[in-house]
Amino acid sequence: MTSTNVTPVILCGGSGTRLWPLSRKSYPKQFAQLMGEETLFQASARRMTGSDGAVSFEAPLVLTNTDFRFIVTEQLQAAGIDPGAILIEPEGRNTAPAILAAALFAEAATPGAVLLVAPSDHVVPDADAFRAAVARGLAAVEAGDLVTFGITPTHPETAYGYLELGAAPAADGAPVKLTRFVEKPGEARAQEMLDAGTFLWNAGIFLFKATDIIAAFKATAPSVMAPVQAALDDAKPDLGFLRLAPAPWAQAEDISIDYAVMERAENLSVVPFSAAWSDLGGWDAVWRESGPDGDGVVTSSGATAIDCTDTLLRAESERMEVVGIGLKNIMAVAMNDAVLVADMNAAQDVKKAVAALKAKQSSQATQFPKDHRPWGWFESLVVGGRFQVKRICVHPGAALSLQSHHHRSEHWIVVEGTARVTVDDQVRLVTENESVYIPLGAKHRMENPGKVPMVLIEVQTGAYVGEDDIVRYEDVYSRE
């Protein structure tokens, strides 16, 4: 059997507000360990690796934004996956410009490239079944079709769009011609479509040749072509990433691939997929996919349920215990800076909480408690009027920028590992239980020269302790 080379295109720029407080704009759900030890992004990338005879996956092509670029490389490295190109979108313009940019890039690099486009936040427990479904779609791709994947519905879901098929799916899962896309239905209509047997959930996963999707854009959404091509032509390399040019990119229409192309194209086929799948579009989906016990209860390691039914309890901090007593149909998710408690039937309304917090200018609306940086992460432990206490973790071999502050001095206490510390013209090693003082205005830097993470406690004191009080002189990560 001849193997077809397929390039995965992983989209990972979304914010996932319906899974707040664990998913936030600064650190969305695809990078979180929602379902096991791997993140959703890592699991998505792993599904699209290796070769099974019919399909041989190339290195993944990733589209993300500048805030997540180092998280992407860090998580792929941790999963043992070498990335291909990583394209940086200057701003979110929805899926159509992102997919077109990937297609234009892939076609220029490898003429005739076959692309498998997938979001980075789906749960597909059976990776072999997924790869088999991809293999079943290759014949339609070779015939020039744009292939989408439809999930066999298990219940009358109102949170998904649907695909109407020209005929009921065959037992072998062969591709079926698509009749039309159907918007998210009401409950009665969802039940009708479930009963009809010719409707599948729209998974938002696509398989096609780069040349065919480019031709489809030219035919159905020609106005998107010029700005995306210009953004790619004027793209700039940056530390292994490729930054799309912001000016032309901003001119691209903010539109989904469904509206721009798929609902207007005629050469569409659907591969039915009957194995387990979820887009984890809300905490109710997390509850369902986590496998509730006999009482319908799901708990994390830091949560205890007493006399509860149909309930989700999660503690997302190692320093926290969540206890539910006599709860029914409740979801409770606790972090060290925010707690969500809601009726399970209101899972799709969690985004309203995010909007309400934004309206009151609460940082919890968008900012994750741990602030992830290229070199590691930090979290604020205590914040006062003229002081702040942080825990800082620096990855092995990583270094913060050479910097100074106008309004604060700092005291560093190493609690794990060893730090190489620069203060003006002095460089020294600081080991566990040792400390160093950084005077106001001094040029300073911390590095981790070791092979294990380095953790320190930072005590800031001064008139202002905001993150924007930084003057950078040198930075290995090219941040301004």
Using one digit for the tens of pLDDT, what is the confidence trace for 140-153?
A: 999 999 999 999 99
Does 14 score more than 90 pLDDT? no
Does 15 score more than 80 pLDDT? no
Using one digit for the tens of pLDDT, what is the confidence trace for 96-146?
A: 999 999 999 999 999 999 999 999 999 999 999 999 999 999 999 999 999
Using one digit for the tens of pLDDT, what is the confidence trace for 436-462?
A: 999 999 999 999 999 999 999 999 999
Pick from 326, 360, 394: which residue ends a domain? 360
Residue 457: which of 387, 374, 364 has the closest Cα? 387
Residue 17, in any domain of the structure? yes
pLDDT mean over 233-261: 94
Domain match, 114 and 232 both: yes
Which of the two residues, 294 and 266, has the higher pLDDT score? 294
Residue 418, in any domain of the structure? yes
Domain match, 87 and 223 both: yes
Please list, in sequence order, all residues whose beta carbon lies within 8 angstroms of the beta carbon of residue 439, skipping any fewer than 6 positions away: 409, 423
Residue 267 has what pLDDT?
93
Residue 434 has a CB neighbour count (10 Å cut-off) of 16
Residue 480, in any domain of the structure? no
The enclosing domain of 459 has a CATH number of 2.60.120.10
Which of the two residues, 41 and 84, has the higher pLDDT score? 41
What percentage of the chain reaches a pLDDT higher than 70? 100
Using one digit for the tens of pLDDT, what is the confidence trace for 275-298?
A: 999 989 899 999 999 999 999 999
Domain match, 305 and 454 both: no
Residue 457 has a CB neighbour count (10 Å cut-off) of 15
**Mean pLDDT, all residues of the chain:** 94
Domain match, 315 and 426 both: no
Q: Tell me the pLDDT band of 36, cut-offs 50, 70 and 90.
A: confident
- Point out which residues pair with 133 in neighbouring strands: none
Residue 480 has what pLDDT?
64
Domain match, 337 and 466 both: no
Residue 398, in any domain of the structure? yes
Does 83 score more than 90 pLDDT? no
Residue 97 has what pLDDT?
97
Does 1 score more than 60 pLDDT? no
Residue 57, in any domain of the structure? yes
Residue 163 has what pLDDT?
94
Range of the domain at 321: 283-360
Contact 225/122 with Cβ under 8 angstroms?
no
Residue 310 has what pLDDT?
98
Residue 349 has what pLDDT?
94
In the numeric block, which tokens belong to residue 138?
């290759």
Domain match, 165 and 307 both: no
Q: Tell me the pLDDT band of 166, cut-offs 50, 70 and 90.
A: confident
Domain match, 338 and 381 both: no
Using one digit for the tens of pLDDT, what is the confidence trace for 56-72?
A: 999 999 999 988 999 99
Q: What is the pTM of this model?
A: 0.90
Sheet (strand 408-416) strand order: 370-373, 376-383, 387-394, 454-462, 408-416, 435-438
Domain match, 139 and 266 both: yes
Domain match, 66 and 35 both: yes
Contact 119/41 with Cβ under 8 angstroms?
no
Domain match, 316 and 382 both: no
Tally of structural domains, the chain: 3
| Beta pairing class for 241-243 and 303-306 | unpaired
pLDDT mean over 380-397: 95
Residue 365, in any domain of the structure? no
Does 189 score more than 60 pLDDT? yes
Domain match, 356 and 381 both: no
Pick from 273, 301, 316: which residue ends a domain? 273
Domain match, 82 and 179 both: yes
pLDDT mean over 89-102: 95
Does 210 score more than 90 pLDDT? yes
In the numeric block, which tokens belong to residue 471?
């003057």
Q: Tell me the pLDDT band of 6, cut-offs 50, 70 and 90.
A: very high
The enclosing domain of 125 has a CATH number of 3.90.550.10
Residue 2 has what pLDDT?
77
What percentage of the chain reaches a pLDDT higher than 90? 87
Residue 278, in any domain of the structure? no
In the numeric block, which tokens belong to residue 116?
């498998």
Residue 238 has what pLDDT?
87
Q: What is the 3-state secondary structure (H, E, C) of 423-478?
A: ECCEEEEECCCCEEEECCCCCEEEECCCCCCEEEEEEEEECCCCCCCCEEEECCCC
**Dihedral in degrees, nearest 10, Cα atoms 76, 206, 103, 59:** 30
Using one digit for the tens of pLDDT, what is the confidence trace for 355-384?
A: 999 999 999 999 999 999 999 999 999 999
Using one digit for the tens of pLDDT, what is the confidence trace for 316-326?
A: 988 899 999 99
Please list, in sequence order, all residues whose beta carbon lies within 8 angstroms of the beta carbon of residue 340, skipping any fewer than 6 positions away: 20, 21, 283, 331, 332, 333, 334, 350, 353
Residue 19, in any domain of the structure? yes
Residue 477 has what pLDDT?
85
Pick from 341, 360, 379: which residue ends a domain? 360
Amino acid identity for residue 444 in this structure: H
Does 304 score more than 60 pLDDT? yes
